[in-house]
Chains A and B, each alone.
Chain A
Amino acid sequence: MALKMVKGSIDRMFDKNLQDLVRGIRNHKEDEAKYISQCIDEIKQELKQDNIAVKANAVCKLTYLQMLGYDISWAAFNIIEVMSASKFTFKRIGYLAASQCFHEGTDVIMLTTNQIRKDLSSPSQYDTGVALTGLSCFVTPDLARDLANDIMTLMSHTKPYIRKKAVLIMYKVFLKYPESLRPAFPRLKEKLEDPDPGVQSAAVNVICELARRNPKNYLSLAPLFFKLMTSSTNNWVLIKIIKLFGALTPLEPRLGKKLIEPLTNLIHSTSAMSLLYECVNTVIAVLISLSSGMPNHSASIQLCVQKLRILIEDSDQNLKYLGLLAMSKILRTHPKSVQSHKDLILQCLDDKDESIRLRALDLLYGMVSKKNLMEIVKRLMTHVDKAEGTTYRDELLTKIIDICSQSNYQYITNFEWYISILVELTRLEGTRHGHLIAAQMLDVAIRVKAIRKFAVSQMSMLLDSAHLVASSTQRNGICEVLYAAAWICGEFSEHLQEPHQTLEAMLRPKVTTLPGHIQAVYVQNVVKLYASILQQQEQAAEPEAAQEVTQLMVERLPQFVQSADLEVQERASCILQLVKHVQKLQGKGVPVAEEVSALFAGELNPVAPKAQKKVPVPEGLDLDAWINEPPSDSESEDEKPKAIFHDEEQRQARHRQPEVDEEELARRREARKQEQANNPFYIKSSPSPQKAPVTAALLSQRYQDAPGVEHIPVVQIDLSVPLKVPGMPMSDQYVKLEEERRHRQRLEKDKKKRRKKKEKEKDKKGKHRRHSSLPTESDEDIAPAQQVDIVTEEMPENALPSDEDDKDPNDPYRALDIDLDKPLADSEKLPIQKHRNAETPKSPEKEDVPVVEKKSKKPKKKEKKHKEKEREKEKKEEKEKKAEDLDFWLSTTPPPATAPAPIPSTEELAVNAVTAPDNTCEGLRREEAEDENDEAEQDPERKSSRHKKKKHKKEKEERTKDKKKVKKKQPEPEEEAAGPVENGAAEEEPAPPMSSYCLLAENSYIKMTYDIQASLQKDSQVTVSVILENQSSSFLKNMELNVLDSLNAKMARPEGSSVHDGVPVPFQLPPGVSNEAQFVFTIQSIIMAQKLKGTLSFIAKDADGATHEKLDFRLHFSCSSYLVTTPCYSDAFAKLLESGDLSMSSIKVDGISMSFQNLLAKICFHHHFSVVERVDSCASMYSRSIQGHHVCLLVKKGEHSVSVDGKCSDSTLLSNLLEEMKATLAQC
């Protein structure tokens, strides 16, 4: 055995290692593939050896080859062997290879479950870490299910290194095994407050990913995130949280209001561009969600746009790009604010950077108006000419079309101009978007009736010069426009000036080189054209000319009959026969024109693309019911599709409205007649065929009457762009014409106005002169050149409103749309967890790995116990956190801006619902939202009676000022605050709402409340948040806060200012508004409480003038404020107590009537403790100071008394803390 090992090791010295392989490949540049295949053969040999080191080396080389594009999945089993090596060195190689090449389809992956489980519970943190990292890349639904519980345990591992990895991988587990989300969520939430910043950041990361997909389920976490946002200094975490808020605020407008101030402050204060940018983004999201009703709304928008302009003007291209990106978000809701920066954006179109140009293009889309559309498009057209590279040019092309066609061609005033733009675009070389242009041509020609004549003339020119389009660029799709051109010329042939010429153009031999589907349209439309020519000539009584045309058809059509394309061939031969028949009739002198043109009688109307889907299912029709008996098994395979097809046809017929049914019947009849007419052997007296359905996608139904037509109001405009007159392309002509037209119109209007004005002036002598002499040109004033009918797209009657149109049923994140606030049902527990909890001592490990030493059992048991305890604790904490209900948070903590109760928003919704009655979809959705809102409001009302009972108690606890304020400002939300009663916790009375903000000082102008927050990251700093509320009717500004520093505590002042300078408050306060400012203090020793004297100075400005005012205060830093809530597990807690270097002290308070639950909640809240363990009326609690003192408490409740025993690494701190606690408890 030993010999074998040595032999292996020696062999290994002759093997190539990774470096040799790389070197070898570099030395064989000419025959790399051959060399590598040699190496793979060697690797295969190495993998056959027993020595794990050799195998690991081979797998390492394979990983390198995988990067070069070689499939290494054949070595999957060997990779698993290396993964299960006992040495970390090899294990790591194995897991790396696995993470690179394993996936859900790898069949051996199921063999890894036990190995991974073993590694996860390995005593070495790096074994565990490597397994977690590997697993994160190849986790499958099976692995996720089997390992979810093990990973969940690791989330509470003692090592932060493991914790953070375990937390992060949970996201992957959730994705693959959504059932694990609910059981794991409480712990995940707990990790948001993990003492280790890495773990915290991981938890934030995971929750943000989850919330991004299903934000509404995570709204209840908003308070927690808000706290993190105001306390965290880690920009990564901040960015994630701020991004998350961006996703949450559309769901809860009150949240947005709460956010806007701290975000604005961050925007002002941060130096990190990344953070600034995300803040701006989220503020934009907030403003979008608020829509209206915020007084300083426009100020925030202005701030954002300003900051973005700075970004866009920056020389750093990255900032420029992002600035434009964010700008486009503002554009959607506040186009006006962005439009004023048009200069900047047009400038960006000339940027050398394509990404930036594309972004600027996006912005243009929202910036057009009737006024500037032509100018902008003109500019884009020059870019099209200049553009290098087809990608950008194609992008320009699509953008031009997008911009022009947006919201039903809203901004186009002159369609002649638009058609000529489209025609100009056909001259683009190498574009892929011929079909887009074609679709636009069709759409415009069909929907804008007034333009048809012009369109037809342009299209016939296009057909005439088809050789230009088709010859040079046949392969790149621009010839698609010929499809549109041919169809338009055919369908609207009555508008053609020289139909004969167009007919000849369409029958040129060159046409046969076009793609089949275009030829088919040609053939079909040649007949339409033919029909109209016949009619014209018969009316003009020129039978010879008519016969000539027929002759031309008979001569030219055979070229299509020979086409290889079936469709073309079929149509051509049908039509050829038809024409020959006509020729016969003509020979006999029978007038045929009317009958031929009857083939194409009727008007086409556009139908909405979704119309078919929206047809309601008639009552009593079961679409899933069998119409025919299901095919029996004995039926042969090839008969089945037939049956299915039949079934579908039936359905379609049923879909239609009754009158359509008749139409359909009629059409069939006509089709039959037409068939007969084309049959030379069928002789019948008077054919009256109707046209067969047209292939164009838009058109699927015919109606006799044109529906209502929208008239666009008319007026004029002034274009500032100087236009080059000589040699300008066609569309420019129209720009110029349009400009003149608008000018004329304006003159006329001015005249009228002046006349009116004069009349007015006669009435009210010159009173309105200034007002009316300003010719204001708003968009609405511009009239279209032609009488434009944009025919609206038709929808079936009583179409079904459905929002589901765009939802992808295969979205993997849909499965994670899970209500996280519902209590866990037993059935939801993670499967393995259940297994392990079973009373029987056999654990799955034991089953799966039969050889388990007895020793290893013990720790497992312990672990189990530990887990159970934890679960208990979780339950407890859950109950405690009831008080942290979202509504409570949104209402009790004094928000910076007075957050109105939800009622106004309901009203707003109601108004919306009323104003949009015709839009059934919208209306319905809104009504639903309203219903929800109603429910939400009713709920708290139901509970409010109960709440009132408790109010007495609460009144005692709450500092009077706070209460007053809450009452005064938000009576509504406060009632809601009593709401949170979760099922399963009903026997416990809910904890009263608590606020950590207490009064600092107050006078007739201003009220200050404050809270002190400590964070573990900074051992000698605390942040004091002061809420300033303007209680007067004056405008408060130039606020400055100054504090007399003590030796022990100093306020952090901006660099360069002396200790006597105050710190300016970064905002101003309009009457009735409150806002929060934060000040940082440096504390040397934290073992004693202390007070600092300070002054707030400000200028109060009202109608009478400004006065300088002052307000003195005393800032009290209690010892509790230096404590940071830190979770601690019972085993760590026990160790701490055993260590013996803690001093002890105790207090006892009598006359306490409050429930133990609430008592604990109070201690947790006011003194920043967390409950480690609770047994009946006894609980152990833990907290940590910012300077690392451990504080342990044992709280016991007697009949009417509470005793608190404390242990702490500093005796002074402990006694001070206990004194403070005594004061709190005495109020209970």
Chain B
Amino acid sequence: MIQAILVFNNHGKPRLVRFYQRFPEEIQQQIVRETFHLVLKRDDNICNFLEGGSLIGGSDYKLIYRHYATLYFVFCVDSSESELGILDLIQVFVETLDKCFENVCELDLIFHMDKVHYILQEVVMGGMVLETNMNEIVAQMEAQNRLEKSENFPMTLHLSTR
């Protein structure tokens, strides 16, 4: 199970916070902060696993993260997940973001947090891996975007005729 997915930038500003277990907001912020401090002091050339331990859930949990340019993607997972598998999953998630936003950068995540969530929802659901095939994820996202457009289009038409 995945317990939490956190995305924050090099300064610890949260860009996506997704917990699959209930924590009050202030604890969530604290976890984000502490996680940030944990990963911040790690060089890029050391391993991507961290025993988060006390942060969430205890010794069964691990932090698995990747660092891309200005962003950290951190997954907190328990022992039922394969470590290398989750690293791949982060890669899939990021590549999907890249496809959906066309050359994703931090600004996309800042201004479209909702969309990032929707994409994530196609990858992970309720803490379990839902889909790992990028093309499938992108296809579903596009279908939903089309649906959204078709809903909103009549309204703009309606406005313009007035």
A88-B126 CB under 8 A given contacts A96-B118, A318-B49 = no
Q: Determine whether B94 belongs to the interface, using a CB cutoff of 8 Å to chain A.
A: no
Interface residues of B in 17-61 (CB under 8 A from A): 17-18, 20, 22, 24-26, 28-29, 42-43, 45-51
Q: Does B84 contact A (CB under 8 A)?
A: yes
Q: In the complex, are the beta carbons of B83 and A322 less than 8 A apart?
A: yes
The answer for the CA separation of A93 and B115 in the assembled complex, in Å, is 10
Q: Within 8 Å of chain B (Cβ to Cβ): is A243? A: yes
Q: Contact flags (1/0) for B121-138 with A, using CB distance below 8 Å? A: 100011111111100100
From A26, A89, A206, A320, B47 is in contact (CB under 8 Å) with A320
- Say whether A168 contacts B114, CB under 8 Å: no
Which of chain B's residues has its CB closest to A247's CB? B80
Given the complex, which residues of B lie within 8 Å of A172, measured CB to CB?
Answer: 126
Q: Please, what's the 1-or-0 string for B102-116, where 1 marks a CB less than 8 Å from any CB in chain A? A: 000000001111100
Q: Does A334 touch B at the CB level, under 8 Å?
A: no
Judge whether A278 and B82 touch: CB under 8 Å.
Answer: yes
Which partner residue on chain B sits nearest A315 by CB separation? Answer: B45
Let me know if A88 and B125 touch, CB within 8 A: no
A845 interfacial by beta-carbon distance below 8 Å: no
The answer to whether the Cβ of B10 comes within 8 Å of any Cβ in the partner chain is no
CB distance from B139 to the nearest CB of A (A): 10
Indicate if the CB atoms of B125 and A356 lie closer than 8 Å. Answer: no
Contact indicator B128/A206 (Cβ below 8 Å): yes
Asked whether A67 and B49 contact (CB < 8 A) given A89-B152, A322-B83, the answer is: no
Indicate whether A371 reaches chain B with its CB closer than 8 angstroms.
Answer: no
Closest to A104 in B: B22
Cα distance, A66 to B114, chains bound together (Å): 12
Report Cα–Cα, A104/B23, bound state, in Å. Answer: 11
Q: Which of B14, B49, B129, B130 has the most CB of A within 10 A?
A: B130
Given A278-B82, A318-B48, A318-B84, the answer on whether A136 and B113 have CB atoms closer than 8 Å is: no
Residues of B within 8 A of A356 (CB): 46-47
Do A353 and B129 touch across chains, with their CB atoms under 8 A apart? no
Known: A6-B162, A63-B114, A96-B118. A209 touches B126 (CB 8 A): no
A615 interfacial by beta-carbon distance below 8 Å? no
With contact pairs A18-B113, A69-B28, A88-B151 given, residues A132 and B118 touching in the complex (Cβ less than 8 Å): no
CB-CB contacts of A144-178 with B at 8 A, as 1s and 0s? 00000000000000000100110011011000000
Q: Are B83 and A169 in contact (CB under 8 A)?
A: no
Is the C-beta of B1 less than 8 angstroms from some C-beta in chain A? yes
A contact residues around B1 at 8 Å (CB): 209
Instruction: Find chain B residues with CB under 8 A from A69 CB.
Output: 25-26, 28-29
Contacts of B45 in A (CB 8 A): 317
Considering the chains assembled together, what is the distance between the CA atoms of A781 and B162 in angstroms?
Answer: 99
Q: Which residues does chain A contribute within 8 Å of B133, judged by CB atoms? A: 197-198
Inter-subunit contact B155/A60 (CB<8 Å):
no
Answer yes or no: B87 CB below 8 A from chain A CBs. Answer: yes
Whether the Cβ atoms of A277 and B84 lie closer than 8 Å is yes
| Cβ–Cβ < 8 Å partners of B152 in chain A | 89
Once the chains bind, are B126 and A169 in contact (CB under 8 Å)? yes
Query: Would B144 and A202 count as touching, CB distance under 8 A?
Result: no
A96–B152 Cα distance when bound, in Å, is 19
Contact A239 B82 (CB under 8 A): yes
Interface residues of A in 312-329 (CB under 8 A from B): 317-318, 320-322
Q: Are B113 and A88 in contact (CB under 8 A)?
A: no
Q: In the complex, what residues of B have CB within 8 A of residue A277's CB?
A: 82-84
Given contacts A69-B26, A137-B20, whether A164 and B126 have CB atoms under 8 Å apart is no
The docked-state distance in angstroms from the alpha carbon of A321 to that of B62 is: 13
Tell me the minimal C-beta distance from B78 to chain A in angstroms. 9
CB within 8 Å of B: which A667-716 residues: none
B117 proximal to A (CB < 8 A): yes
Interface bracket on A? 35 or more
CB distance A236 to B132 under 8 Å?
yes
Are B162 and A92 in contact, CB atoms less than 8 angstroms apart?
Answer: no
- Are the C-beta atoms of B51 and A358 separated by less than 8 Å? yes
Q: Give A222 Cβ to nearest chain B Cβ, in Å.
A: 18
Indicate whether A454 reaches chain B with its CB closer than 8 angstroms.
no
A136 to chain B: closest residue by CB: B126
User: Given the complex of chains A and B, what is the CA–CA distance between A208 and B128 in angstroms?
Assistant: 11
**CB of B16 within 8 A of chain A?**
yes
Residue of B14, B51, B111 most packed against chain A (CB within 10 A): B111
In the complex, the answer to whether A133 meets B49 with C-beta atoms within 8 Å is: no
Give Cα A354–Cα B155 distance, bound, in whole angstroms. Answer: 57
Considering only CB atoms, which chain A residue lies closest to B83 in the complex? A322
Cα separation A6 to B156 with both chains bound (whole Å): 11
Contact in complex: B114, A93 (CB < 8 Å):
yes
A1215 to chain B, nearest CB (A): 37
- Min CB distance A15 to B, Å, is 15
Residue in A closest to B45 when the chains form the complex, CB atoms? A317
A581: chain B residues within 8 A (beta carbon) = none
Interface string of A186-205 (1 = CB under 8 A from B): 00000000000110011001
A70 close to B (CB within 8 Å): yes
Are B17's CB and A355's CB within 8 A?
A: no
Which chain B residues border A322 with CB–CB below 8 Å?
49, 83-84
Q: B residues within 8 A CB of A96?
A: 114, 117-118, 121
Q: Contact check, A355 vs B47: say whether CB atoms are below 8 A apart.
A: yes
- Chain A CB within 8 A of B159 CB: yes
Complexed CA–CA distance, A96 and B148 (Å): 15
When distances are taken between beta carbons in the complex, the residues of chain B under 8 Å from A71 are: 24-25
Most chain A Cβ neighbours within 10 Å, of B20, B82, B117, B162: B82
Complex contacts, A320 vs chain B, CB 8 Å: 47
Known: A89-B152, A352-B43. Contact between A205 and B129, CB under 8 A? yes
Bound form: Cα–Cα A274–B86 in Å: 9
Chain A residues closer than 8 Å to B29, beta-carbon distance: 68-69
Say if the beta carbon of A19 comes within 8 Å of chain B: yes
Partner of B114, one of A18, A171, A201, A273: A18
Judge whether A92 and B17 touch: CB under 8 Å. no
Q: Is the CB of B136 within 8 A of A168?
A: no
- Among A26, A67, A164, the residue within 8 A (CB) of B130 is A164
Q: Which residues of B contact A353 (CB under 8 A)?
A: 42-43, 46-47
Q: Judge whether A103 is part of the interface by a CB distance below 8 angstroms.
A: yes
A133 touches B121 (CB 8 A): yes
Q: Let me know if A63 and B113 touch, CB within 8 A.
A: yes
> Do A208 and B16 touch across chains, with their CB atoms under 8 A apart?
no
Task: Tell me which residues across on chain A come within 8 A of B113, comparing CB atoms.
Answer: 18, 22, 63-64, 67
Enumerate chain A residues within 8 angstroms of B22, measured Cβ to Cβ.
103-104
Q: How far is the CA of A952 from the CA of B102 in the complex (A)?
A: 68
Q: Is the CB of A88 within 8 A of B129?
A: no
In the complex, which residue of chain B has the Cβ closest to the Cβ of A139? Answer: B126
* B125/A169 in contact, CB under 8 A: yes
Contact present for A22 and B110 (CB under 8 Å): yes
Residues of chain B lying within 8 A (CB to CB) of residue A165: 125, 130
Q: Write the nearest CB–CB distance from B142 to chain A, whole angstroms.
A: 12
Sample (23) of A-B pairs whose CB atoms are under 8 Å apart: A6-B162, A18-B114, A63-B113, A67-B16, A67-B17, A68-B29, A69-B25, A88-B151, A89-B151, A92-B148, A93-B114, A96-B118, A161-B140, A168-B126, A201-B129, A235-B85, A243-B82, A318-B48, A318-B87, A322-B49, A322-B83, A353-B43, A356-B46
Residues of chain A having any CB pair with chain B under 8 Å = 6, 9, 18-19, 22-23, 26, 60, 63-64, 66-71, 87-89, 92-93, 96, 100, 103-104, 124, 126, 132-133, 136-137, 139, 161, 164-165, 168-169, 171-172, 197-198, 201-202, 205-206, 208-209, 212, 235-236, 239, 243, 273-274, 277-278, 317-318, 320-322, 352-356, 358
Leading 9 A-B pairs by shortest Cβ distance: A136-B126, A274-B84, A317-B47, A353-B46, A69-B29, A103-B22, A321-B47, A239-B82, A67-B17
Q: A209-B80, A317-B46 are in contact. List 14 more A-B contacts (CB 8 A).
A: A18-B114, A63-B114, A93-B114, A104-B22, A126-B144, A171-B128, A205-B128, A209-B1, A239-B82, A274-B84, A277-B83, A321-B49, A353-B43, A356-B47
Give B residues with C-beta under 8 Å from A: 1, 14, 16-18, 20, 22, 24-26, 28-29, 42-43, 45-51, 80, 82-85, 87-88, 110-114, 117-118, 121, 125-133, 136, 140, 143-144, 147-148, 151-152, 155, 159, 162
